[in-house]
Amino acid sequence: PPLQAVLLERDPAFVALARDNIAANGLADRVCAVEADVGAPAAQLDALGLRPDSFDAVLANPPYHDSDAGTPAPHALKADAHAMPSDALETWARFMARMVRPGGRVTLVHKAEALPRVLTAFATRFGALIVLPIHPRAGEDAIRVIVSGIKGNRAPLSLRAPFVLHGIGQEFTEEARSILRSGAALDLCAPRQGA
């Protein structure tokens, strides 16, 4: 109940959808959706109430694909949601560092192959980094990584045991099912069961 959340989205249609969902779920006193871009000038963000050092935690799920490589999706909205320039990850990290308070936590999910770029973008801003590789199945390569860190901390990086999504066939593992179906937490700071 004491949690307050701010959702940031640059597409007006998605902001409207988020606001509708916030209202439909009775969360208007705790959640708001703000229309802005992570690369917006500081004055514009301040005017929207997004002040520096004001959040305990900042979570991000930026577009995974490089807009300078490959063929963009035919639908403009999908193309924008799925791809960004390869150097834009630095903009996302800078925004996250600006928003989170000293000692606050940032968490970002990205493709596994982007891990070197994520670590480079986080290196001078966050410490006590935790890297959680996400694997589709045991024995298969990671497809995603969750990287989390603390602003102003200089503790070393920790590489966690893999999080495996599927067991036999398409069935989720018990750990994945408890999160996806039952609302269990994925606590990056605590050892996981069976890890």
CB atoms within 10 A of CB 158: 13
- Mean pLDDT value of segment 13-37: 96
* Mean pLDDT across 12-32: 96
The predicted structure's pLDDT at residue 195:
47
Q: Is the pLDDT of residue 71 over 70?
A: no
Nearest-10 crossing angle of helices 88-99, 115-123: 40
Q: How far apart are CA 123 and CA 119, in angstroms?
A: 6
Q: What is the pTM of this model?
A: 0.86
Q: Find, among 159, 81, 145, 156, the residue nearest to 117 by Cα.
A: 145
The per-residue pLDDT for range 139-174, each reduced to its tens digit, is 999 999 999 999 999 999 999 999 999 998 889 999
Q: What is the DSSP string of 33-85?
A: EEE--TTS-HHHHHHTT--TT-EEEEEE----EETTSSPPPSSHHHHHHHEE-
pLDDT above 70: residue 83: no
Yes or no: say if 36 and 50 are a contact pair by the CB < 8 Å rule. yes
How far, in Å, CA of 110 to CA of 60, rounded? Answer: 9
Q: What Cα–Cα distance (Å) separates residue 98 from each residue in 15, 85, 105, 190?
A: 22, 21, 12, 26
% of the chain residues with pLDDT over 70? 85
pLDDT at 182 over 70: yes
